[in-house]
Amino acid sequence: MNRILLSVTLLCCICLFSKAQNVAFNPRNDSTLFHILSNHDSLIDKVINNPSKYNFQLIYTRINRNSNKINISTFSINEGNQYYNPASLIKFPLALVALEKMTSLKDSGISILDSLVLNTCSCDYGTNKYVSNHKNPTLLQFLREMMIMSNNNAYNLFFDFIGRDVINTRMKLMGIENIQMKNRFTSGCSEEDNQISGGLRFKNTKSYNSFLIPCLKSTRHWSIDSSKYPTILESQIATKKTIINNRKNNSENNYVSLMQAHKLMINLMIPSANLFQNNFIIDSNYKNEFIKALGSYPRELENSEYDTAHLADYYYKFFIDPSIMQTKENKIRVYNKVGLASGFVSDVSYFFDSTNNIEYFISGALLSKKAFSNENNYNDFGIHLLRKIGGLIYKNELDNSHVNSK
């Protein structure tokens, strides 16, 4: 599917979503997911039968369209009971807040297409270099690179654009208590460095206008309430056949609740769901560009220094079984954001198959370590497991779609 057809498909989807009414969200931790996943694969059985051992969480939302109404049903395994390191998943809510801020600045004469200059106010000079060496230094380009290739320098740029107080306050206003942004993805930056943001200038070459995001310092201390999330203070290291429980205070780090990220994805793709208080106010063009970036494959990233020709369409899309990808016709789109750090694998996805009229949401996280070792095992275990689960969920949806069409 070329970029024009992709854009048309996205816009059609958004039009359909905007007509939805009476969407209720009532997650159920029942046997539905076990019934779909059990007794097909020994690795899946091992994990879902002992999810706490692997810090495993899984959330699955079915979608049933009837006329102009949408009914959704959500099922989970072990959701919210385990700590995981969200890593790059923080980029998903950060992008939403950033686009809302850009929308509010439109009256100042700037847009996501204006050229950017960064002179960081903190210690993150690597991001300075990334921006200055870029051939197309616009917020839209950095948004694409952050979402499609999970670029950390792009995240740091958005960190400077937003700052900790803005995103964390915005989450509170939406009634979300367990998403917080605290730190850049830059080694060597202290807590004081991460309190500081700003140093961006937008330059509109057509009107010769410019707009400065000045240096600001966070005025609040942000920390997850560990009384609500007691397991967030725990991590495990397996060494020489001995499991050592470390009391590591992760409450001061970035955190994204898997369920809240799952709901944010639903809210983005089905706007009338209204799953949060004080929903985002984002320019429709900006929102369409963001959705397009979430659903793009690496080979569709333009004006970039990345060599994406050798990257498969399922790169950074962990819930897709490579065997079902239609890389020539591209009738399948996965809109998602993944996280990968400290042995943890996570993915929050919306799956859309226009050929078979299939759509659903699926999110998961788990700790992916080699047995009796602190060595990460992403490809052979964590990502491999999510791909197997994604294949079974898709097969179940495909079977149901064939039954319903008869």
Distance CA 279, CA 268 (A): 10
Give the count of domains, the chain. 1
CATH code at position 295: 3.40.710
* 332, part of any domain: no
Q: pLDDT value at position 16?
A: 42
**Which strand (E) or helix (H) includes residue 291?**
helix 284-295
In a domain, 374, yes or no: no
Q: 288 lies in a domain?
A: yes
Distance CA 258, CA 93 (A): 12
Report, as ranges of residue numbers, the positions in the chain whose pLDDT lies below 50.
1-22, 230, 232-235, 237-241, 243-244, 327
Tokens of 133: 């060496």
Q: Quick one: pLDDT at residue 2?
A: 46
Go through 12-25 and write b for each residue having 16 or more CB atoms within 10 A of its CB, e for each that does not.
ebbeebeebeebeb
Whether the model clears a pTM of 0.75, i.e. scores above it, the answer is yes
Query: Could you say which DSSP state residue 315 is in?
Result: T
* Residues of the domain holding 18: 3-314+361-368+383-405
- The answer to the question of residue 334 being in a domain is no
Asked whether residue 24 is domain-assigned, the answer is: yes
**Torsions phi, psi of 37, nearest 5?**
-100, -20
pLDDT tens figures, 318-366: 999 888 875 455 589 999 999 999 899 999 999 999 888 899 999 999 9
Distance CA 147, CA 92 (A): 8
Q: Give the pLDDT confidence score for residue 10 in this predicted structure.
A: 46
Q: What pLDDT score was predicted for residue 404?
A: 65
Classify residue 310: in a domain, yes or no.
Answer: yes
CA distance 274 to 263: 10
289 residue type, one letter: E
Contact 71, 251 (CB under 8 A): no
CA–CA distance, 105 with 99 (Å, rounded to integer) = 10
Residue whose C-alpha is closest to residue 336's, from 320, 357, 312: 320
Q: How far apart are CA 191 and CA 195, in angstroms?
A: 6
Residue 21 lies in a domain: yes
pLDDT on residue 249:
61
- Whether residue 340 lies inside any domain: the answer is no
d(CA 22, CA 264): 17
Choose among 124, 73, 138: nearest CA to 286: 138
Neighbours of 100 (CB within 10 A): 21
Check residue 246 and report its DSSP letter: E
64-101 pLDDT tens trace: 888 778 889 999 999 887 788 999 999 999 999 999 99
CB atoms within 10 A of CB 71: 13
**From CA 192, how far away is CA 223, in angstroms rounded?**
15
